[in-house]
Structure 1
Amino acid sequence: MHSLRFDGTFATWRQAARRALLQGLAPHQLQWLDEEAAPGLFDQPAERAPEPNGRLRVSPELLELLESAAQYCGEERWSLLYRVLWRFVQGERSAVLAGDPDGSELHRRLKAVRREAHHLHAFVRFQPSKAQGAPDFVAWFEPAHDILASASGHFAERLGKHSWLIATPRDGVFWDGQRLQHERHCPVQWQAWARQPEDDGQALWRAYYGSTFNPARLNRTVMQQHLPVRFWKHLPEGPLIPQLMSEARAGAQRDGQALVLAGRKGKRIAQINEGDAVRPPSGSVSGSDAPDLPR
């Protein structure tokens, strides 16, 4: 068994994979070790093998697929990529097809990565920062996969010359108005700025979402598909969601508007069936049109 330790980036994995392919090392002969992973009991630091001679041709399309799938965090994160690459180089083009076991897993990971990038765009909430030296806006996010570097350019196109940063438990990005800086290990200062106490504007968020929530349109299953529970704690309206859902189940669904408005005089909005899909308004600083409310 050959243990290949690298820095956990796709670029260095690609170099190590190229050397392994030219040496004729099959997938079952390799163990991929991220440098941040704790060494095993019998893991001995290996000397760097000499660069093998030879040329290796791999299509740009395959490399693009592998680079996207490398953002997935999970078991066999790197070994699956090498197995697909090995089989493809050996002439098994089916290794990248959805009907193949390896190809099916590859496409599942690609879908999960795209989904998490959508979550970043939909559920990041920037707050204006008052700290000295901090950018104009800051946000905290906890992605399930390493999508921050590739997906955060979305905000540079929308916030213009404003400076901003997004900090996560692992990495972080900083936009100074002209250039996007990505740090694989998020600086402590960035994390402190991003996790600052919420400002007065957050109360306005909660008042807005609480008053526009329609209990008659609540569909718990659909809501949690579009807005997973793990994101609630980082949204201004997140603390309201359980309460609003509870009130809806307790009888508020007969009203077609928020409880605070339902008791006032005026024409009652007709109840809508639970299965009806209605997109609630979005007020995110990011400009996303993703659903933000329970429905």
Structure 2
Amino acid sequence: MQVLCCDDDFECWRSQARQLLAQNVPPHDVVWEDERIPQLFAAEPAPAYAATASTHRVPAELLGQLKSAARYRTPGRWNLLYRILWRVVRGERQAMLAGDPDGSEMHRRIKSASREAHHLHAFLRFHPLPADEQLDYVAWHEPAHDILASASMHFAERLGRQRWLIATPRDGVWFDGKQLHYRQPCPPEWLARAEAVRGKDDALWETYYASIFNPARLNRKVMQGHMPLRFWKGLTEGKLIPVLLSQARAGSQKDGQAVGVAGKTGKVIRLMKDRVAAGGPATTQALSNHSSTGDS
């Protein structure tokens, strides 16, 4: 059995898979070593394969699916992808469909990786660096899957020429205002910049979040479904959420207002029936005339 390593890089795996297909190496005769969980035997470099006249046509749709599924971080992920590739090039196109056991697992991984990309967009918090000459914003994030490289252009499209850095335990991206630079593993200097602002307070954002929090609409189960607990520690407002949840359970959920909002003074707007009662007959007559015209 051949034991290979692609360093969790799709293009490297693709090159290795192409060589294996050219030599007709079946899936059960090759295994990819996980980067963090080595196999019992040391990984071997792929041998220099001789070029063959045979070519294998791979549907463009399958190539996109394999690339998306490769972002799902799990031991043995590359073995499944090669098995699906092997089956499809030999005529078993059902291997790429959700009705097939292998295809079903591939589509599940694609969906999970896509959801993790959404989590990156929703739960990443940039911190401004007004005194830094090289960066405008920096952020720390801990995704469950390898989606940083593919999902980071979302921020470049929205922040314009602003310069920013996102660091994770595995990789990092730096946008210099014109070009996106991806590094795996994340360089130590990038990690140091992100660690410096990790968990940093932001009084303005915390005030905004506490003000818009609506205890009357709180559904803890749904909230945790959309905002998993693993992200709370990385959110600027993360330390506020348990307090706001506790206050909601303690009674603020009944009147739909947090304590800080309920205690503020403001203009009282009376209901129509209260205005009629306070205004007397003249107001009652005016309301009657208004109704008789057909207005509402």
Which residue number corresponds to residue 127 of structure 2?
Answer: 127
How many Å apart are 1:234 and its aligned residue?
A: 1.1
The 5 Å alignment of 1:15-94 reads: 15-34=15-34, 36-37=35-36, 39-43=38-42, 45=44, 48-53=47-52, 54-94=54-94
SS class of match (2:169): coil
CA contact (8 A) 2:33 2:39 kept: no
Residue 221 of structure 2 aligns to which amino acid in structure 1?
A: T
Which residue number corresponds to residue 5 of structure 1?
Answer: 5
Query: C-alpha offsets along residues 204-262 of structure 1, whole Å, 9 cap, x if unaligned?
Result: 11111112211111001111111111111111111011111111112221121222122
CA contact (8 A) 1:212 1:257 kept: no
- Name the CA shift for 1:44/1:224 in 2 (closer, same or farther; >3 Å): closer
Tell me the TM-score normalised to structure 1 length.
0.84
User: In the aligned structure 2, how far is the partner of 1:195 from the partner of 1:77?
Assistant: 30
Residue 190 of structure 1 aligns to which amino acid in structure 2?
A: W
The alignment covers a number of residue pairs equal to: 267
- Name the CA shift for 1:59/1:225 in 2 (closer, same or farther; >3 Å): same
CA RMSD of aligned residues (A): 2.1
Which residue number corresponds to residue 156 of structure 1?
Answer: 156
The 5 Å alignment of 1:1-295 reads: 1-34=1-34, 36-37=35-36, 39-43=38-42, 45=44, 48-53=47-52, 54-130=54-130, 132-197=132-197, 202-264=202-264
User: In the aligned structure 1, how far is the partner of 2:136 from the partner of 2:166?
Assistant: 12
How many Å apart are 1:37 and its aligned residue?
A: 4.0
Query: C-alpha offsets along residues 2-39 of structure 1, whole Å, 9 cap, x if unaligned?
Result: 212233211110111111112112111111124x3464
CA contact (8 A) 2:216 2:254 kept: yes
CA contact (8 A) 1:129 1:193 kept: no
- Name the CA shift for 1:26/1:127 in 2 (closer, same or farther; >3 Å): same
**Highest Rg: 1 or 2?**
2
CA contact (8 A) 1:134 1:193 kept: no
Task: Provide structure 1 residue ranges, at least 5 long, that are not aligned to the other structure.
Answer: 269-295
Residue 196 of structure 2 aligns to which amino acid in structure 1?
A: Q
Residue 88 of structure 2 aligns to which amino acid in structure 1?
A: F
Tell me the TM-score normalised to structure 2 length.
0.84
Paired-residue identity, %: 57
Question: Higher relative CO (CA 8 A, sep ≥ 6), structure 1 or 2?
Answer: 1
